Amino acid sequence: MMQQHEPTSNQVEQGIRLLLGQTPAARAAGLGGHAAELEELLRAAETLRELPLPAPDAAAAARLRELVLDQVELRRVTWVHSHAIPHSGRPLRRPFKLRSVWGVGFLLVLAVLVGLGLSAAANLSEPDSPFYGLKRTGEAILLTFSLDTVARADLETKLADLRLREAEAMVAHNHPDLALVAVRDHYQLMRLAAADLKSVAVKHSAKWSAARGRLVKQESQSVTPLEAQLDGQGQHGTADQVKAEIDRFEEDRKDIDQQLSEPAPTPSPPPTPAP
């Protein structure tokens, strides 16, 4: 029995070009031994050309070409799957293609859920835990997909407080190096939160003012006791580095408070005396 071969994409494209307006002379160009296999397609194309239909525009032609080539590729994969791969009993599915806003939105929601799950699963992990990296990865995903600037600033403020709690725990566990890293992250997160609040176009809304109030409250948290504890443990070098971080942020805080200050209330005019 003569073995049948699947037509290639290039050969099918010639049939498509005929369908889209090329002359029947294309039938003889490069079809080779597959002319019989494409004869039915070409006859259908000639029949369609005789119909009194307007020529398709470029977008429709491109879409038609894409659909036909997709079918050819699926047919080729199906043939390989049925002839060269042991049959598993499961139907062959089309590969997922991300071509819509719904697909992008699904991935965004999935990423946020993954971030929430990772953060919640590692919520009790401290910097000396092997799972701490998982916790920070979850936090990074949440920050990346926080599209609302004020909400992201609020999240950064909450994470700054978490870093301070971690610094306290690391001092208690005698891990001065990890405590210093947590202190630096604590201050850097507050700087990022202040920058986000500053970038908001419409400031001093109720939501913005609430986020700013939480940031100001977090700024007032003193790190000096940690410095004293490190000094008492004989970690004088680390204590000096913590003090340097405190002093550096206090300098930055002057600009932060000025940039995020609430506008002074407009004094109301004195009442007009009755005549």
36-66 pLDDT, tens digit per residue, is 556 666 676 667 666 665 666 677 677 777 7
144-198 pLDDT, tens digit per residue, is 888 899 999 999 999 999 999 999 999 999 999 999 999 999 999 999 999 999 9
Domain positions in the chain: 9-83, 146-259
Phi, psi for residue 14 in degrees, rounded to 5: -65, -40
Predicted pLDDT of residue 170: 95
pTM of the full structure: 0.54
Would you say 184 and 196 are in contact if contact means Cβ atoms under 8 Å apart? no
Tokens read off for 106: 């699904």
Which residues, including other chains, have CB under 8 Å from residue 43's CB and lie 6 or more apart? none
For the domain made up of 146-259, give the CATH fold. Answer: Methane Monooxygenase Hydroxylase; Chain G, domain 1 (1.20.58)
- In the chain, the N- to C-terminal Cα span, in Å, equals 116
